[in-house]
Amino acid sequence: MQPTLVILAAGMASRYGSMKQTEAFGPGGETIMEYSIFDAIRSGFSKVVFIIREEFADAFKAQFEPRLNGKIEIDYVYQHIHDFVGSHTVPSDRVKPWGTAHALLCCKEKITEPFAIINADDFYGREAFEKAAKFLQQECNETTYAIMGYELSKTLSGNGSVSRGVCSVNEAQQLVNIKERTKIYRDHTSGKIIFEEENGNGTLPDNTPVSMNFFGFHPNIIALAEKLFGEFLDKHIKNIKSEFFIPLVVDEFVKRNLGVVKVLPTSAQWFGVTYKEDAPEVKKSIEALVQSGAYPEYLWK
């Protein structure tokens, strides 16, 4: 069975300031996620599911369907704040979606096969999709998931802090735990990589493996996410900024001895658009890849 690619494209882009999911970066007007879809197709994925906000669905479809029709099967999921909250009362001033694991939960009726999930605004590279496709077709099952492990130093932005899932890995290259750090940056005075959180600051080695929200899952992850979301809401429903992240679900999968998560290492240089100032560098990076022959000048012609 060919795997499915799920793309997280419903974020608010609060730090970026506009809809970066639909912004053109390639020479033919391609978005970052179109390069991911292109890599996924040539790695063996047969379907893409976009998780988006319903209010911009028509514009989203008008932009991408003419390019992708006939290339890969397309489906959509809409992330709504009130989905899956059960008897909990959502605060009236809650605006932000519940986060990436809630977005995953919204795919409940759409996915029955092994799948990969990625961010819309991160460039991952062909190697990552080839490794993910091989894992999903040959190894993935109800007790075996995977995560692409990037080197932290190769995932930073020079324009501000980033959010990363920091991984602890054992000798068998399996995940021990994953901790979502929402403010990581390189201190230009000391040269060290710093993370900040409410309980204090710390440092991380350059080669620390981190998640870029590129996971390989069996569809049973969705049932676990639903159970954990209820537990999450019990504790955090009143905090309008609280988010239910995929790494939280993955960490609980490991902690509760439900299975193993293989860490598939990559030394690839990440690039993405956390901030507006990142955009020129992303365009230069894509242009260099096109000139090297890694991608055609126009992806879909």
Structural domain contains residue 28: yes
Structural domain contains residue 157: no
Q: Give the span between the Cα atoms of 22 and 25, in whole angstroms.
A: 9
146 strand-pairing partners: 216, 262
Structural domain contains residue 197: no
Q: Which residues of 2-23 are buried (b: 16+ CB within 10 A; e: fewer)?
A: ebbbbbbbbbeeebbeebbbbb
Checking if the pLDDT of 253 tops 90, the result is: yes
Taking every pair of C-alpha atoms in the chain, what is the biggest distance, in angstroms? 54
- The per-residue pLDDT for range 99-155, each reduced to its tens digit, is 999 999 999 989 999 999 999 989 999 999 999 999 999 999 999 999 999 999 999
CA angle 197–201–215, rounded 5-degree value: 55
Structural domain contains residue 19: yes
Structural domain contains residue 115: yes
Please give the residue range of the domain that contains residue 56: 4-142+212-248+270-292
- Give the CATH number for residue 116: 3.90.550.10
What percentage of the chain exceeds 70 in pLDDT?
Answer: 97
CA 115 to chain centre: 13
Grade residue 17 by pLDDT with cuts at 50, 70 and 90.
Answer: very low
Structural domain contains residue 164: no
- The per-residue pLDDT for range 155-209, each reduced to its tens digit, is 998 888 998 989 999 999 999 998 888 899 999 899 999 999 888 899 999 999 9
Number of domains in the chain: 1
